[in-house]
Amino acid sequence: MSKLQLIATSAFGIEAITARELKKLGYFEQKVENGKVTFSGDESAICRTNLWMRTADRILLKMGEFKALSFEELFEQTKALPWDEIIPMDAEFPVEGKSIDSKLFSVPDCQAIVKKAVVEKLKQKYKCEWFEENGPRYRIEVALLKDIVTLTIDTSGAGLHKRGYRKLVGGAPLKETLACAMILVSHWKKDRILLDPFCGSGTIPIEAAMIGRNIAPGLGREFDAEKWPLVPQKLWDDARDEAYDMMVEDQELRIHGSDIDEDAMSIARYHAKKAGVEDAIHLQRLPMSDISSRYKYGIIICNPPYGERLGEKEAVENLYREMGTVFKKLDSWSYYVITSNMEFEKLFGKRADKKRKLYNGRLLCNYYQFFGPPPPKQTINIQNTQQ
């Protein structure tokens, strides 16, 4: 197998979590930058990372990186890359692009030049003048940042947040990748109770249950690279077999989700069933004001309304005040709340122990972390026996 340069893209603010996930999979040779983690791996890494990454948006195959100040430089250096070793004759290879702080600022022109350069490279190998592009997809991206060009091919296809279980859409859905990042930041453990009092369509509880049972998030979907000759079908079969072997289906979990909206709860139940974790989550219609628990040392992770829409501000401010009162009664619990409302701490009535800037879509948010006392350590009595 060959050594490949791969890129796991992620939302701003969670790159370190994505890097930690890659290390857990055994990919230690990596470079963390804004919005991405570059790492090394062989062809099997394409399969394993697409199946297992919970916080990454996509897995990209890095073809090359170089400086270009003119369209001629862009064309020649693109053409010099080994496209013919990756892309088959019948491939569909659309080109997308973006340019930030670069002399080559016209994205459509950059896309057209990269497309032309790839075509010229493929012509040399396949000895033809026209490509039908009716085969597997190889989505190429040309990304320019301060005159540095990075060329990649997307191995994932649809974004990795599309696990395959979300068939219905509720109001203001939280991306699965961000929900996982919120859970992983909290260091929630499967033996502790977890509660989301604003669970909506169920994303946080479902993702927590998948983490608790070690279910690979990509098991229920397909990827573009599954149809590539570069990645043999056996590697995909082996990666899926590994994922099924590592699943802990009988893991007992205490995960609760509630919401005031009964329609949202119906959607959450449907999604939990599609994800195969309906028996691991207790879902019920419940106003936030009625939240209580007899358990200690639990964790609340939630995405309450932000009040971004006109006319919602006063209602949301009152909600945050009520959250402060209700959560305070759970005095041994830890709370994790994401919101774009910069007055949250003041309204909640408590300063967060830690804050982390995260993006929910394009909306800049703070992830407020309030740490409760740690659970008491369990002591194990060991009786020595004399022989």
Q: Decide if 375 is inside a domain.
A: no
Residue 147 lies in a domain: yes
Q: Are residues 37 and 89 in the same domain?
A: yes
Q: Are residues 121 and 25 in the same domain?
A: yes
Q: At what angle do helices 71-79 and 107-126 cross, to 10 degrees?
A: 30
| Residue 281 and residue 322 in one domain | yes
> Is there a domain that residue 106 lies in?
yes
Distance of CA 124 to the CA centre of its chain: 39
| pLDDT for 311 | 73
Amino acid 386: pLDDT: 38
- Domain assignment present for residue 108? The answer is yes
* Domain identity same for 345 and 206: yes
- The pLDDT mean for the chain works out to 94
Instruction: Report pLDDT for 167.
Output: 78
**Same structural domain for residues 43 and 93?**
yes
- State the pLDDT confidence band at 170, using cuts at 50, 70 and 90: low
CB atoms within 10 A of CB 59: 28
HSE-up of residue 228 (Cα within 13 Å, Cβ side): 28
142 and 187 share a domain? no
Residues 71 and 16 occupy one common structural domain: yes
**pLDDT grade, residue 383 (50/70/90)?**
very low
Report which secondary-structure segment, H or E, holds 263: helix 262-275
Clarify whether residues 180 and 79 are in a common domain. no
What pLDDT does 382 receive? 44
Q: Mark 347-386 as b/e (b = at least 16 C-beta within 10 Å).
A: bbeeebeeebebbbeeeebbbbbbebeeeeeeeeeeeeee
82-121 pLDDT per residue, tens: 999 999 999 999 999 999 999 999 999 999 999 999 999 9
Fill in the amino acid letter for 379. Answer: T
Judge whether 62 lies within some domain.
Answer: yes
Enter the pTM of the model: 0.93
Residue 209 in any domain: the answer is yes
Query: Whole domain around residue 348: which residue ranges?
Result: 176-213+249-370
Same domain, 275 and 363: yes
> Given pLDDT bands bounded at 50, 70 and 90, which one contains residue 307?
confident
Mark whether 208 and 326 lie in a shared domain. Answer: yes
Report how many domains make up the chain. Answer: 2
Please state the rounded mean pLDDT for residues 11-33.
96
Residues 202 and 277 in one domain: yes
380, part of any domain = no
- What is the Cα–Cα distance from 286 to 315, expressed in whole angstroms? 18
The dihedrals phi and psi of 21, each to the nearest 5 degrees, come to -60, -45
Domain harbouring 66, CATH code: 3.30.2130.30
Do 97 and 150 belong to one domain?
A: yes
